[in-house]
Amino acid sequence: MDKIKQENIKDICYKISKDIILPKYKNLKDQDIRYKNGTDLVTLVDIEAEKELKKNLLKIIPKANFIGEEEYSVKNEILNYYNENNYCWTVDPIDGTTNFVKGKEKFAIMIALTYKNSILYSWIYKPLKEEMFYAIHNEGAYFEDKKIYTEGILKLNQAKGSISTKYWDEDYLEKLKLLKNYFAEVKSYGCIGFEYTDIALGVRNFAILSKLSPWDHIPGILLVRESGGADTDFDKKQYDFTSKNKNLIIGNSEEFNLKILNKLGEYS
């Protein structure tokens, strides 16, 4: 495979956000909005944007597989693509759909390119600001073509981040309620892409996550890793997106993530 040209991906994101996403921003009709799996919002814009992303990304690597959040919702078996010996695009056409529907500013297009269980490239594009973050495996993390480095702090009481409120079993839910008090600030953006870019920039320090969907996390995880940060699951390993359903800490450093895990361990 040839090296991916950054300007190609930025052009694709720019065009899709200009033609499909932004015209519907603060301009959605009731019939544009639906629920999938009973709880999660989806709009016609998510579905349209994903189709265009698929079409354009497959032009770059025609034989690659494609996993999109919306395609997955009607065809769960596409997750098996991660086990094939092939390149795979993973796409979240709109991360932060609820924010988008409410006319709030934090939503993003997220894309990653993987081969088996390694993440080669990733992109997080912010349509309203026309800003692109990207990461290249073993080369670095970038914001608008400038290298970015996260900044580590080690004290929990100085740290700002988020703790997901969904999907924990009861035991962890209780422990996390206690843990929450140790941090300087715990607040969710409703758009994990923005949290990942802020952690990569060192503006924020952590996110504690449960029940992971690959399109929500593969792009941001490469960005954070390449900026000098770390992802640590509750077994103290790196996130493996080919295996199911783990709990994960994203943070400015592995040392910091382990500190959070140790604190959680004290409650048992």
Q: How far is the CB of 145 from Mg ion (least distance, A)?
A: 26
3-state secondary structure of 107: coil
Residue nearest to Mg ion (CB): 92
Token readout for 195 is 């949290």
**Nearest to Mg ion of 91, 136 (CB atom):** 91
- Distance between CA atoms of residues 221 and 25, nearest Å: 27
Q: How far is the CB of 149 from Mg ion (least distance, A)?
A: 28
Q: How far is the CB of 106 from Mg ion (least distance, A)?
A: 13
**Nearest to Mg ion of 136, 191 (CB atom):** 191
Q: Site size for Mg ion, by CB under 5 A?
A: 3
Q: Segment contacting Mg ion (CB under 5 A): 19-27, 94-102, 164-172, 182-190?
A: 94-102
* Interactions with Mg ion, residue window 156-215 (CB under 5 A): none
> Cα Rg for the chain, rounded, in angstroms?
18
Q: How far is the CB of 190 from Mg ion (least distance, A)?
A: 11
Q: How far is the CB of 110 from Mg ion (least distance, A)?
A: 8
**Nearest to Mg ion of 209, 230 (CB atom):** 209
The correct pick among 68, 72, 89, 92 for binding Mg ion (CB under 5 A) is 92
**Nearest to Mg ion of 36, 137 (CB atom):** 36
**Nearest to Mg ion of 72, 82 (CB atom):** 72
CB atoms inside a 10 Å sphere around CB 173: 12
* Interactions with Mg ion, residue window 53-72 (CB under 5 A): 69
Strand order in the sheet with 206-209: 185-186, 160-163, 206-209, 248-251, 230-233
216 binds Mg ion (CB under 5 A): no
Q: How far is the CB of 71 from Mg ion (least distance, A)?
A: 12
* Contact in structure between 115 and 42 (CB atoms under 8 Å): no
**Nearest to Mg ion of 52, 254 (CB atom):** 52
Residue 129 burial class via C-beta count within 10 angstroms: exposed 0-12, middle 13-18, buried 19 and up: exposed
- Distance between CA atoms of residues 95 and 40, nearest Å: 12
Contacts of 250 (CB under 8 A, 6+ apart): 195, 196, 199, 206, 207, 208, 209, 220, 221, 224, 229, 230, 231, 257
Q: Which residues bind Mg ion (CB under 5 A)?
A: 69, 92, 94
